Amino acid sequence: MREINKNRTRPATPLWLAYVLLVLTALFWSGTTIVGRAATGEIPPFSLTFWRWLMAFVVFIPFGFRPFWAQRAIYAQYWLRVVGFAFFGIVGFTISFFFGLQHTTAINGSLLQAAGPVIIVLTSLIVLKLGLSAGEIIGTILAIIGSILIVLHGDVMEIGSLEFGLGDIFVVLSMLCWAIYTVSLKWKPQGLDPLGFIFVLAGLSVPMILPFYLWELSRGQTFAPSAVNIGLILYTSIFASVIAYLFWNKSVEIVGPNAAGFSHYLIPVFGTIMSVIILNETIETYHMIAMVLIFTGLYLATRNRTH
């Protein structure tokens, strides 16, 4: 990231804080995996997505409307760019991901998610012409191996029995959408208030997701408005959407897309820990080996990262 940041003013946010925000983002997104398991059979995926972002938009009105209105001239000038952020970062990513998961196995979906940071790196190589250091290359390989160990439950022989189809293509497409969004944040209009920006993205995403939600309703798929279901939606709305996106956008601005992308490898680590704590699952030896590999990879990939 030194190449693209050398002409920028040094960010006010310290580098260490950006990494803390990335860790918290991975923690919140790994919680979405737990929510997804809890919502299985209770909340259809497109319904969860629609209400997640509608509630995020509503909850954020008191915080985001005023800064949006104060900068409405900037949004009007760059409206097409902002619509693109909403489409790739929320709609394209979420819809493709949930559709893909409906047509593939859990193992395939998790394995392909592990490719997300690699796709971000490749996208930045193509679009931003960024190079990779030896530490980033080795760190990426170690983190991928660690993620695969978790996904395959330590049985590496299982990878030979995997079959890929239409659902897997859509999971990869969702990762590509996220990579495009992350890399494109470099062209986010300067000076936009972060609260107003997420407020606008959430507002734009709702009407784009609505057709998928209506299609699901037409098939008779709905959910009961129970306290548990509403609580699951609120978690995804506030923590996995508003707060996580705020943290992610700010961190990408400081450390760049490549370094930020490596934090995705923490998602299976936190997911494993929360599965043990919340779902009473058992931590195995391969979990510990995988965590060591992932954290070693993260250290090697980011140890020389500067502004």
> Is residue 83 situated within a structural domain?
yes
Lowest mean pLDDT among 13-22, 239-248, 258-267: 258-267
Among left, alpha and beta (phi > 0; psi -120 to 50; other), residue 129 is: left
Q: What pTM did the predictor assign?
A: 0.74
Mean pLDDT of the chain, nearest integer: 79
Instruction: State how far the Cα of 43 lies from the Cα of 94, in Å rounded to an integer.
Output: 15
With a pLDDT cut of 70, the percent of the chain lying above it is 75
Q: How many CB atoms lie within 10 A of CB 30?
A: 21
Q: Is residue 294 part of a domain?
A: yes
Contact yes or no for 244/29 (Cβ under 8 A): yes
pLDDT tops 70 at residue 307: no
* Residue 1 in domain: no
Instruction: Identify the CA nearest to 150 among candidates 281, 36, 22.
Output: 281
Give the count of beta carbons closer than 10 Å to the beta carbon of residue 229: 18
- pLDDT for res 85: 95
Say if 111 falls within a structural domain. yes
Q: What pLDDT sits at residue 191?
A: 86
Higher per-residue confidence, 98 vs 59? 59
Q: Residue 161 has what DSSP assignment?
A: G
Q: Is residue 32 part of a domain?
A: yes
User: Is 77 inside any structural domain?
Assistant: yes
Residue 9: the pLDDT is 46
Amino acid at 42: E
Find the mean pLDDT for residues 149-175. Answer: 70
Answer yes or no: are the C-beta atoms of 93 and 181 closer than 8 Å: yes
User: For residue 125, with 0-12 CB atoms within 10 Å meaning exposed, 13-18 middle and 19 or more buried, which class applies?
Assistant: middle
Domain count, the chain: 1
Q: Which residue bears the tokens 């509608």?
A: 54
The mean-pLDDT minimum among 95-104, 157-166, 206-215 falls in 157-166
Task: Count the alpha carbons within 13 Å of 246 in the hemisphere toward its beta carbon.
Answer: 15
Compute CA distances 203 → 56, 66, 175, whole Å: 9, 14, 22
Q: Report yes or no on 6 lying in a domain.
A: no
Domain hosting residue 277, numbered range: 14-302
Domain assignment of residue 71, yes or no: yes
Confidence of residue 301 (pLDDT cuts 50, 70, 90): low
Residue 122 has pLDDT above 80, yes or no: no
Task: Collect all residues with Cβ–Cβ distance below 8 Å to 121 and sequence separation of at least 6.
Answer: 132, 136, 140, 257, 258, 261
Place of tokens 């690699």: 118
In the DSSP assignment, the letter for residue 281 is P
